[in-house]
Amino acid sequence: MTIQVDYRFPPGVNAEKQAKVIAIGQTVGSWDDRFSHREDSFQLYLAQVIRVVVHDSGHSTATIEFPVGNTEGDIGSLLTMIFGKFSMAGAAKVTAIRLPDNYGQMPKIGLSGIRNRLQVQDRPLVMAIFKPALGLTADDHAGILRDVAAAGLDIIKDDEILGNLEIAPTIDRLKACRQVILETKETTGKELLYAINVTGRAHEILDNAKRLVANGANALLFNTLTYGWSVLESLAQDPEVNVPIFMHPALAGAMCGAPDHGFNYSTILGTLAAHAGADAVLYPAHYGSLPFEKSEEMVIRDALRSRNVFPVPSAGIHPGVVPRAIADYGNDVILNAGTGIMDHPSNPAAGVIAFFEALERVNKNQSFSIDEVPDSALKIALQKWMT
C-alpha cells in the first residue's frame, strides 16, 4: 500500500527537481558506497515521483508516492514524512493526500450514529453556538439552552474560545446544561446534543474528556489544530469517550491560507480529519462570513462523507442561506449558526424556528423572496440578514 501526495509549486520553481528532493529527503535520504549492501532495504522505504504536470497558470503539480510503512499509521508521522522539514524549504503547497481506506481510524459514532442518537434521519440537523462567547456564567448558558431547546434545536456547542475559565468552569456548564437537556427530553421526548469544549494540557485532555462523559456529556468539541492530531486520535480511540467529537478548524487559516505554502484546506479539514477519528468537522461555508472557495468546500464535504463523518459548514450561516446549503449538501449536513440563531431580532428560540421554517420552504420548493414569505420568524430573519 502507498500514500500519494500532490505538491503544487509556483511558476519559476523546478518542480521535477524539488519533487526528487522531497522523495529522497523526506524518506531514506542520500547514501554512498558504504551502504551499498543496504540498497534493497533503502528501496523499500524510498518515495517515488509519479508525475509532474505543468498547468496553464505556470504552476506545476508533482505527485509523489510514499510507502505506508514509513509511517506509524497516524496523522503525526504522516505529516512529518510528507511535509516536515521540506515545509521550510520554500514555496510549495500540499494540495491533495490520498490515503488507503484503512489508514488511521474511522469515527466511533459518525454521521449515522449522530442521527441515531438524535433520532432524526430525514432532514438536516440544526446546530447553535452559545453567544456571547465569553463572560457568561454557567446559569447563563443553561438559560440560553432552555430557550433554544424548547424550539426543537438538535445540537448546541460551546464557542471554541471558551475554555475552563473561572467565570464558567467546564464542569459547571455541563451540569447546568445537562439539567436542561434532561428536562427537555422528559417534556418533549427530544434528544439534544451539547458539544462541550474539552481543553487542557496534553496529559490532561483525555482525563478531562472522560470526566465530562462520566458526568453526562453527550458530545465534545475539540480544537484539533491547536491541541494536536494525536490528542484527537487518542480521544477517538478511547472506549470511555463514547460520544461524538466535533472537530473545530481553529488555526486552519495559518496552515492553509497562503497561496503557495502550507496545505489546501481540503487536505486538513477533509482528508486528515476524516482519517483521524472525528465524528463531525466544522469549516467555513463559501456563502458565509469567511473567505472560502466552493470547490474546496465540496472536496471537504465528499472526503468527510466517504468515511461517515458529518460535514458542518459554518461561519455566517443564517436562515437565508438554507436553500443554497441544501442545494450543496442535501439532507446530510449540520447547519451550524451562532449569531444566525442567537441574534434573531425576536429571540434565540425564534432563530431556531426560522431555520426549521426555512427547511420547510425548501422542501415545498417555495420562494425565499421576502415579500412572498408570510409573517414569521423566518421573514424577520430574512429582513435582518438578506436586506
Residues marked active site are found at 85
CB count within 10 Å of CB 254 equals 11
Residue 27 CA to residue 13 CA, distance in Å, equals 22
- Partners of 51 in beta bridges: 63
Residue 259 CA to residue 20 CA, distance in Å, equals 22
Which cell is 244 given? 461524538
Scanning 69-167, the segments in alpha helix (DSSP H) are: 75-83, 110-118, 138-149
> Which residues 6+ apart lie within 8 Å of 261 measured at CB?
87, 91, 92, 93
Residue 338 CA to residue 314 CA, distance in Å, equals 9
- Three-class DSSP category at 24: helix
Query: What stretch of H or E contains 174?
Result: helix 170-188
CB count within 10 Å of CB 105 equals 19
CB count within 10 Å of CB 290 equals 13
Residue located via cell numbers 428536562: 183
- What is the layout of strands, in order, in the sheet containing 125-129? 310-314, 280-284, 245-248, 219-223, 193-197, 155-157, 125-129, 334-337
Residue 291 CA to residue 105 CA, distance in Å, equals 30
Could you tell me the maximum CA-CA distance found in the chain, to the nearest angstrom? 82
The pairs formed by 14-17 with CB atoms below 8 angstroms and a separation of 24 or more are: 15/52, 15/54, 15/60, 15/61, 15/62, 16/49, 16/52, 16/62
The DSSP code for 313 is E
Residue 106 CA to residue 312 CA, distance in Å, equals 17
Which cell is 179 given? 439539567
